[in-house]
Structure formats: structure tokens, C-alpha cells
Structure 1
Amino acid sequence: MSYRQLPLHDHQIPASPIVLGCMRFGGDWDGAPITEDLVVEGHQAVEAALEIGINHFDLADIYTRGKAEHVFGRILSERNGLREQIIIQSKCGIRLVGDDEGPQRYDTSGAHIIKSVDGILSRLGTEYLDILLLHRPDPLAHPQEIGEALSKLHQAGKVRNFGVSNMGSEQIRLLQMHSRMPFIVNQLEMSLDKIGFVEAGVTVNRAQAKENVFPYGTMEYCQAERIQLQAWGPLAQGRFTGRAIEGQRPEIEATAELVARIAKERGVTSEAIVLAWLMKHPAGIQPVIGSIRPERILACRDAAQVELTRYEWYELYSSSCGRRM
């Protein structure tokens, strides 16, 4: 697996082209305690990731209501030297449950960001995060307040780099105006099923543009500003890699068959083809695979080595959107 140099500050660990998303670590999203079986399950997922060269791990303070970070913290404590060999990013900015201050909501107030990071570091048992992402756009966000909070976290050595998730170019631009630290990551939903990131460009001045919700210009802005684009949900919940797809739109079934055919011709897994389609984009998209199953993680092994032709890429794109270019 080839590595790329993210614009990371303070150290220069090359990042793997695929990230392991740890949303499923820790079991269900309930108050049940963390069992040893769940810790073992996490160890097995991390081992599979390391085996295929993944050194970049994605978490969030809300994942399984904090249990994902607790489990990952156990893994770090039980694998000597692992922390220094990997890139850990986590996210904050969503309050899952209501409290005395209000309902479930987004919260990027400075106080909440700082408190969230302290909680993240405590659960992980580490002194710093390589990257902190703001999880969702907050309509009540104060950019200057956010910038001041991020500066405090960086100066305290708690967070080395910053990014965002699910934001368009103008939202990032506004935040960047008030932050001394550059935003180096933007994580968005992109896959062979969620093709809005392509449609936003190719449907300009066409009727189909009205149906697309992906923020126009975001791909180009991130490329121009050297912001690493990451794709959450890149395997489309298995729709093209063996999951039962009865009742799905016809394009899903046709595209799944096409993925299987190309995978057979290339001698790789369907997962490798689905990820390679994303990774061919000139933005250098970094897929964040969300499986905890070792066999599913291992199935992604060859994605970075598959170089789809333009014909194959457009064939897959046309199949997914259900029309010719």
C-alpha cells in the first residue's frame, strides 16, 4: 500500500490511502458496559487494518456513545508502541441527548469543543490527537470563538491538526478566516452510490443540477487549498459487494453486477473495485471504511493498487447514475 504525505504539523507520519473508521467499536449505541469480547473484536479489526498497511484511524466522541474511544484506548494500552506508529483523528460537535441546556443538537461553542477534546483524550488514554474534526456544521457557530478554542487546544499540545466533516467550501472558508491553524481534512459521504460529488460538477447548467445536494465547488476548493478529502460510507453499506439488494433501484443491481465483472477480470475483490473507483478521482480521496469485521477489512487490501481505466471509471459512473454522459 502506497502512502501519501498529509499536510500534518508537528510530525511527518505518512498516511495510508485508506482509513479505518471505528464507529462500530464498542458494540451497540446503548448504556451496556464494554465486555472483553468487544475489546478482542476491536483488537482483531486493528490487526487486520495494520496487516494491509492502514495506519490512520477515525473516531468520534459520539461513536457508540463514547465506548468506541474507550475500546480504542484499551487497544492502545495493550499494544506497546502503537500510538507513535499511527494517526488518530476524532470528531466533536454533536450532543446526542438532551440535557438541562437544551435538546439533541450540534454544538461548536468554544467551551464545548475544549471539554469534548478533554473527554476524547481521557477515553483514548493519550496526550494528543493528530487531527480533530468538527463533526457537522452548527447554525449557531461563531467562527472567531471556534478559532480561539482551536488555538488553545493546539498551544496546549492536545491537538496537532484540525479539519471538518460534512461541510461545503464556503463554510470552511469562513472558519479558516478566523483560525490560525489550517483545516487539513474534510470528510463527506462519497461512494459509487452517493455520487453527488461527481454530479455537482458534470451537471452544471443542466436540469439534473437541481436534484443534487452536494455543495458545488467543494471538491475544487479542497483540492486548491490542499485539504484532504475523506469519504465516509465509501463501500455503500455493501450494496455492490455482496449484500442482498432486493428492492433497491435498478441501477444498484446493474452496478453490482458490473463491479463483480470488473473484479473478476482484475483478480481482486469487489471491495477493491468500489474503493478504487473513488480513489481514481484527482482529489486523491481517502476512503474511511467502517467495518469491524476482519475479513471485510482484508478484502480492501488491493484497492490502492487497482488503477481503473477511464473506460471502466465512466462505465461504473454511468451505471450508477442510470444515464449516458
Structure 2
Amino acid sequence: MKRIKMGCTTLSIPAMALGIMRMNQKSVPEAQVAIQAAYDAGINFIDSADIYGGGKSEEIFGQAFSQMQIKREEMFIQSKTGIVPGKRYDFSKEHILHSVDEILERMQLDYLDSLVLHRPDALMDPEEVAEAFDQLQAAGKVRFFGVSNFDMAQFKLLQSCLSQRLMFNQLQFSLKHTGMIDFGMHMNMVDKPSVDRDSQFLDYARLHKVTVQAWSPFQYGMFEGTFIDNDGFPKLNQELQKLADKYEVGKNAIAAAWILRHPANIQMLVGSMNPQHIRDSAKGAKIRLTRQEWYDLYLAAGNYLP
């Protein structure tokens, strides 16, 4: 598995992480198979969130992992908080602290390697968040911190009050969600792709050594479904299959290789609980697409260049 530097540190993490959003749909033995498949492929990074399955995903993970032979220190375990049932967000100190305690209990852990704030809270008080982070770190409950779906101004605002460096920002990025790179290639134009909806965060991350974690790497829309083997995207699947045949892997691996080919050292979140999909996706970390192959996929996904 390809390894990348985590944020501004010298620590290395795998270029892929296993997202456990759908683990609530699995039995404990099935969850163990998925975790083991990821670990055997070099994916020793887990990404979760307190809202996944209403907390059930973390419960299943905790039961599964506690019975496995993998040592805790061999895994990097991350969870997210901030989205509250009832369609609101909450970055209050009280909520963050309480949420972490509940996460640790569900996952049967003594600490999290990373805590990520899940989608921006319009009522965020950066100084209050800073107090929560300091308390969690001092108590040994969380080692590192990050955010999810923050634009550059939100990220800089929070960072200005923290004593810790934010390591991560989770952002949607895939062959069918390319906004973070479209506008740069359509600079000085007036067409739709020239609109910057992501506040140039990818370039900011490269300048300031923030690890972008790409979620929904095989999805189109937000949660409409996967573009892999989808009849609605014939050109893209034809190009994926051509390269899959060349590199002797599956389409998932090629779609993953496309993301990892970007020089920003992006970490890709694999959300599948299917062991075969996990193993195939992991093979993408070993493939370095040529520049022409990368652009051929970009164009086959329905994008165009000026």
C-alpha cells in the first residue's frame, strides 16, 4: 500500500482508509472479514462517524475489532462528530466532549487517533472548539484533529484559535465529482466549470500540508449511487474497463488510481464492506496512470477542456 505523510507531520498513513458507514448492515463476523481484508491490503486506517447507522456501525466495529488479532497500535482509528439527529449541527464544547466519550465506548477504545468535525456548524465558536480539543488531547482521548467539508475561510478561522494543527479535511472527490480541479483548468472563462465551489481548498491544502480525504470515490451525485458498471455512464465504464484490462485489475482500482494520481497526496476513503471490492480498490494504490490515461478518464467522465 502506498503511504503518504499525514498533514504537516513526518508520520505516514496509508493512501486509503476504510470507511465504516455501512458496517451497521453487517454481522460481527462479516465486519471482521471486511476489516481483515483492508488490513491485509495495507489499509490500517479506519474512518467512522458517530451518526453512522445511528451509532450501530461503531458498535459493530468495536465488537468485531476487540475479537481480532490486530493490535490497537497497528491501526489508525478516526471518527467524526457534529451532525445531530434532527437535522442540525453542534460544535459546542459540551457536545464534542460527550460525543467522544460515547464514540470510545461504542468502539471499545481508550483513545481516537483522530477526531474530525463533520460538516460546518454555522454557530461554531472557534474558541469553544479549541477548549474541547485541548481537553481531549490533555486527557489522552484524541491524538490529532481535522474537519470535513470545510471551505478555506472556515478552515483558517478554526485553525487560528487552535493550539493543534488541523491534519485533515474530508471533501468529496471522484471521477464524477471533479469540481476541485475543474475551475483551475477553466481559469478566466465564463462557462460552468470555471465556477469555484470549493474555495481553492485543494491548492491551499498543498501549500499548508493538509491531508485531503476523498469521500465517495466511486459515487456520482451525493449519494445517488456508484458509476462503476452503471449503464448511465457508458463512456466512462468503457475507459475504466480498457485500463483495467491493461493493468489486470478491476474498475474500482482504476477509479482509485485516478484519484491517487493527483500530486496533492490525497487519502481515499473506501466505503465498501465487500472484501473483494476492498481488495480491488487497494490495488489502485500500486498503479500510476500516465498523464494521458488520467486525462482520458477525466474526459470520459463527461468533463471537457477549454
Provide TM-score, normalisation by structure 1.
Answer: 0.88
Aligned partner of 1:40 in structure 2 is: 29
Aligned partner of 2:66 in structure 1 is: 77
In the alignment, the residues of structure 2 paired with residue 256 and residue 228 of structure 1 have an alpha-carbon distance, to the nearest angstrom, of 29
Aligned partner of 1:33 in structure 2 is: none
Q: SS in structure 1 opposite 2:34?
A: helix
Query: Cα offset for 1:7?
Result: 4.3
Aligned partner of 2:261 in structure 1 is: 280
Cα displacement string for residues 110-139 of structure 1 (whole angstroms, at most 9, x for unaligned residues): 111111111101111111100000000011
Alignment of 1:204-223 (within 5 A): 204-209=187-192, 212=195, 214-223=197-206
Aligned partner of 1:114 in structure 2 is: 97
C-alpha change, 1:39 and 1:232, in structure 2 (3 Å) is same
Letter in 2 for 1:57: I
Runs of at least 5 residues in structure 1 that lack an aligned partner in the other structure: 28-36, 98-103
Aligned partner of 1:18 in structure 2 is: 16
Aligned partner of 1:31 in structure 2 is: none
Cα displacement string for residues 22-77 of structure 1 (whole angstroms, at most 9, x for unaligned residues): 000112xxxxxxxxx61111111101101211100100000000011111111221
Name the structure, 1 or 2, with higher relative contact order (CA <8 Å, separation 6+): 2
Cα displacement string for residues 191-242 of structure 1 (whole angstroms, at most 9, x for unaligned residues): 0000111113222221235774631310011111111011000122674432
Q: SS in structure 2 opposite 1:49?
A: helix
Query: Cα offset for 1:304?
Result: 1.1
Q: Is 2:279 aligned against 1:298?
A: yes
Aligned partner of 1:56 in structure 2 is: 45
Q: Which has the higher strand share?
A: 2
Letter in 2 for 1:279: L
User: Residue 153 of structure 2: which of 146, 170, 176 is its match?
Assistant: 170
Q: Is 2:81 aligned against 1:92?
A: yes
Q: Identify the range of structure 1 (197-206 vs 64-73) with the bigger mean alpha-carbon deviation.
A: 197-206
Contact persistence 2:48–2:58 (CA under 8 A): yes
Aligned partner of 1:269 in structure 2 is: 250
Q: SS in structure 2 opposite 1:163?
A: strand
In the alignment, the residues of structure 2 paired with residue 254 and residue 197 of structure 1 have an alpha-carbon distance, to the nearest angstrom, of 22
Aligned partner of 2:228 in structure 1 is: 241
Contact persistence 1:255–1:316 (CA under 8 A): yes
Aligned partner of 1:67 in structure 2 is: 56
Aligned partner of 1:128 in structure 2 is: 111
C-alpha change, 1:265 and 1:311, in structure 2 (3 Å) is same
Give the length in aligned residue pairs. Answer: 302
Cα displacement string for residues 65-106 of structure 1 (whole angstroms, at most 9, x for unaligned residues): 001111111122102443111000000000013xxxxxx201
Contact persistence 1:222–1:228 (CA under 8 A): yes
C-alpha change, 1:194 and 1:212, in structure 2 (3 Å) is farther
C-alpha change, 1:145 and 1:209, in structure 2 (3 Å) is farther
Query: Cα offset for 1:108?
Result: 0.6
In the alignment, the residues of structure 1 paired with residue 153 and residue 99 of structure 2 have an alpha-carbon distance, to the nearest angstrom, of 25
Aligned partner of 1:4 in structure 2 is: 4
Letter in 2 for 1:293: N
Q: Is 2:163 aligned against 1:180?
A: yes
